[in-house]
Amino acid sequence: MNIPDPDQPTPSTRPDLTNVVFLKNEVTSEFIEVGAYTYADSEGDPAPFEQRCVKYLYGPQKLRIGKFSTIGPGVTILMPGGNHPMVGPSTYPFTMFGGDWADATLETFLAIEQPGDTVIGNDVWIGRSATILPGVTIEDGAVIGACAVVSKGVGAYEVVAGNPARLIRSRFSDEEIELLEKARWWDWPIEEITRHSATIMGGSPGDLAKIAEDLRSDQ
């Protein structure tokens, strides 16, 4: 089959698309997990994704990204390691400097509740120069508008935009979203994804639900 090799850093079928990087082949951090065919557009920036786009990746929180998601140029994903304490009068990060300041404040710092993992689902499109704040979950099929600042969770197949990002519309009805979440086309064998790619791109949730049902019955 003449399809992109998910184990190559750039699409094997389009060697000219050097700005398109399949992230699972590039990331090295133990704090990032990425599914097959998810890519980021580097727009010619040679810096790797985890340096170019992901900030304050100190752990233990992870960045988890599903399959077939697309990340536009200039996207910034902020991790909790950059947060400053806001539980008391000052936001100054005394603990960061070590020495007596760390000794005096470490217990207080460790007691502060921190955001959890940042999760980006499957088939998510994040537009140019969007910013994702720490601990946010973006569910499957969501679309993040260009320059949006995402400060809270985004539901499945929602379109959000603005600063802070707000719901613009849902791409499908609740019933159709349920069909899509059950179909989970991104988990089909790649041969079936290829065979039905036109329907995945331009068909209806009902069409995908029918294909998924047929695939299950063939197993």
Q: Phi and psi dihedrals of 127, rounded to 5?
A: -75, 170
DSSP letter (8 states) at residue 116: -
> 174-183 and 205-218 are packed helices; what angle lies between their axes, rounded to 10 degrees?
30
Structure-block tokens of residue 35 = 């599914």
Q: Which of 182, 156, 183, 180 is nearest to 170 (CA)?
A: 156
The answer to whether residues 35 and 57 touch, using CB atoms and an 8 Å cutoff, is: no
How far apart are alpha carbons 187 and 1 in whole angstroms? 18
Catalytic residue among 7, 30, 84, 162: 84
- Check if 84 is active-site: yes
The answer to whether residues 125 and 144 touch, using CB atoms and an 8 Å cutoff, is: yes
The answer to whether residues 219 and 26 touch, using CB atoms and an 8 Å cutoff, is: no
Compute CA 81 distance to the chain's CA centroid, rounded to the nearest angstrom: 18
Q: Could you list the active site residues?
A: 84
